[in-house]
Amino acid sequence: MRLLLDTHTLLWFALTDPQLSGTATSLIIDPDNEKLVSPASYWEIAIKISIKKYALSKSYEIFMDEAIDKNGFGYLHIEPKHTAALTTLPFHHKDPFDRLLIAQAIIEGIPIISGDTVLDSYPVKRLW
């Protein structure tokens, strides 16, 4: 199954944070699942680091390499069809990064692994 990781899911998995649910962990470690990361997630992390809302214990580049590439996660590149969905997406969620992840999951018809219950307001399958 193809799965899109929410930003906090990517971070918590990479950091082995206990906030990550058991279901989310099982889905991520299952080799039969294709785990995808959106540029919106690593862009959000970079912005939060730059404005001092988040800090990493290692360089951003090394962390992302370990979090994404070394875990064998793929990239779900942002395409015009994803951003087109934003033009009509209701504003249940105000965060622009989350809105893009929601649009990508809807357009691709794939579930998103997220603890964010606001996503349940959209026609997307949220796994947690």
In DSSP terms, 36 is beta-bridged to: 4, 74
Side-chain-side CA neighbours of residue 44 (13 Å): 18
Average pLDDT for runs of 10 along the chain of length 128: 98 97 98 98 97 95 98 98 97 94 98 97 98
Specify the pLDDT at position 65.
98
- Is the CB of residue 20 less than 8 Å from the CB of residue 67? no
Following DSSP, what letter does each residue of 90-103 receive, concatenated? -TT---HHHHHHHH
Task: Give tens-digit pLDDT for 99-125.
Answer: 999 999 999 999 999 999 999 999 999
Q: Percent of the chain scored above 90 by pLDDT? A: 98
pLDDT of residue 93: 87
